Structure formats: C-alpha cells, structure tokens
Amino acid sequence: MSSDKVTKRILFSVSLIILIISAGIVFSLVKGALPAFNTFGLKFIITNEWNPTEGREVYGALPFIAGTLITSILALIICLPLAFSTSLFVAEYFRNTRISSVLSSLVDLLAGIPSIVYGLWGFYVLRPLMINLGLSDQGFGIFTSSLILAIMIIPFATSMSNEIILMVPDELKEAAYSLGATRLEVIFNVIIPNARSGIIASYILALGRALGETMAVTMLIGNSNSIPSGLFDTGNTMASIIANQFGEASGLKLSALIAIGLILFAITGLVNSLGKFIIRKFS
C-alpha cells in the first residue's frame, strides 16, 4: 500500500472519530434534555421562572439566555475598539520594532491565562472598583462580568487580528504609498479591505469564547435567577447556572440544566455559522 493511501486512511479515520465524538455529545445532550422539554415544552426557552421546590418545580431558561447574550455582546462591544487599535499598533504602526515585539508577547501571554485567574483578579480589583464608584452595592453584576469578559477576549482577538494584518502583502501597501496615500488611507483602503474577513472571524471566535465562559463570570455576575433589569443588576448566564447547580442537581432539575447546555451548544453553533456566512460574504 502506498504512503499516500495510508495517509489518506489515517486522516479519514481521525476525521471520522471527531464526527463520532461530536455526534455523541449532541446525542447525550438531547437525551438528557428530553425530560425537561417533555415537561415544559418549548416554553422552557421563554419562561423566566426558576423554582426548584419539590412538587412545584418550574424551570425556564430565559433569564440565563438573556444574561449570556447581554454579557457576551457587551464584552464584544468593549473589546472591538481596544483589540483593533492594539492590532494596528503592533502589526502596522510599530511593525518589526522592539515595542511591537514586547507588546505582542504580552498579548500572547494574556491570551493564555486561565479564566479562573481573571475571575480572581476581577473579584479583588474590579468588584471593589464598582463599589467605590457607587455603581453597585456589592460589586457584582452584568457590567462587571462583561468587563472581565472583555479583558479576557481582547488578547485573543488582538493576537488573531495581528496575524491577519501581517498577511496583507507589502506590495499592495507600497503601491498605495507610491501613489501618495497617507498611513490612514492605506489602513482603510488597503489593509482593512484585504484583512476584513479574517478580522471579522477573529471577533466572532472571541464572541464564541465569551458565550461559553464559566468561572470568571460565575465569580462576578451575582448569580441571581432573574432577567437583569439593568447593566449593574445581578444575573446569571447559561454557563454559570450550570456550574453553580449541576453538582447538586437530580431528576427534572438536572434535565433542565442539560437542556440549558444544549441551548448554549445551539447558540454557539449558530454564531459560528453566522461567522462563516459573514466571511464568505466579505471575502
């Protein structure tokens, strides 16, 4: 048997294993979530009550869906200008300089820090700051969680954007400069159009990380099972409610938590699909 055929079979086998694992995850989530959906139907998604009292159990995922979307989207809004500016600074304005090398290494280091470390930092730094500014009585809330999420995903988005911007051919930029274009004109007329799809992809992946973040958010969001009434109100995300209550859950409550996990899986898949559509649209 030729080496090409062996390589092809190995790659096919590995790909098949990944498909089987993915199918197994989906099957397990669907199987575990069925009792909750059989009991509450699709109202489970739009119900905002979470009552684990035995004999009066009512579970709804709406507060956690809302908490997840609000914190993640707000984090992305905070992340966008900071990450984009930093990537331009590193990959264009100070390219191949010592300061660019140091800052790029620092960004890569921050991107690899475990989320629990960010959570601890947020608990001991951001939380007291929110209290001192009078924005929150206890320092917990949606905004605090969004801020720590933004700090977490900025290095991730910046690092990916750096690589994309560096891939823009120098010949295109030099041609623009030779025609009298300024640095700003080169950025908006050459770099961004050529790197657009990759930059969009980096922010979509950053959003995906924010959607599924658990420990940092759990430590700062306040963990109240209600739809937040404002940015400084407490709440819960889909990941944080699972982290807080999965260990002690059983029966219908356990099924409800698994159903929330299935919804989170579906939302993440939808975001990734949307990202691929946007990339195809603008590439």
Q: What pLDDT score does 31 carry?
A: 93
DSSP string, 102-140: HHHHHHHHHHTS-HHHHHHHIIIIIHHHHHHTTS-SSS-
Q: What is the pLDDT of residues 230-281, one digit of tens each?
A: 888 888 999 999 988 888 888 899 999 999 999 999 998 888 787 777 777 6
Q: What's the CA gap between 49 and 58, in Å, rounded?
A: 6
For the chain, the distance separating the N- and C-terminal CA atoms, rounded to the nearest angstrom, is 40
What pLDDT was estimated at residue 8?
A: 84
Instruction: Give the pLDDT mean for 181-198.
Output: 86
Show me where the domains of the chain are located.
3-51, 62-282
**pLDDT at residue 42 greater than cutoff 90:** no
Residue range 65-80: average pLDDT?
Answer: 93
Tokens 């990380």 locate to 209
In residues, how long is the chain?
283
190-196 average pLDDT score = 87
Give the separation between CA 51 and CA 58, rounded to whole angstroms: 5
Count of other CB atoms within 10 angstroms of residue 234: 22
Q: Is the pLDDT of residue 282 over 70?
A: no
What is the separation of C-alpha 280 from the centre of its chain, rounded to a whole number of angstroms? 21
Q: Does the pLDDT value for residue 283 go beyond 70?
A: no
The C-alpha R_g of the chain, in whole angstroms, comes to 22
Amino acid sitting at position 273: S
Q: How far apart are CA 15 and CA 7, in angstroms?
A: 12
CATH of span 62-282 = 1.10.3720.10
Beta-sheet pairing, 50-51 with 58-59: antiparallel
Helix 238-245, helix 62-88: angle, nearest 10: 120
pLDDT in tens, 105-136: 888 888 888 888 999 999 999 889 888 888 88
Q: Which residue has the higher pLDDT, 205 or 264?
A: 264
pLDDT at 101 > cutoff 70: yes
Global pTM value: 0.88
* Structural contact between residues 142 and 64, judged by C-beta atoms closer than 8 angstroms: no
Confidence band, pLDDT 50/70/90 cuts, at residue 1 = low
> Looking at the DSSP assignment, which residues form a beta bridge with residue 222?
235
The mean per-residue pLDDT over the stretch 156-171 comes to 87
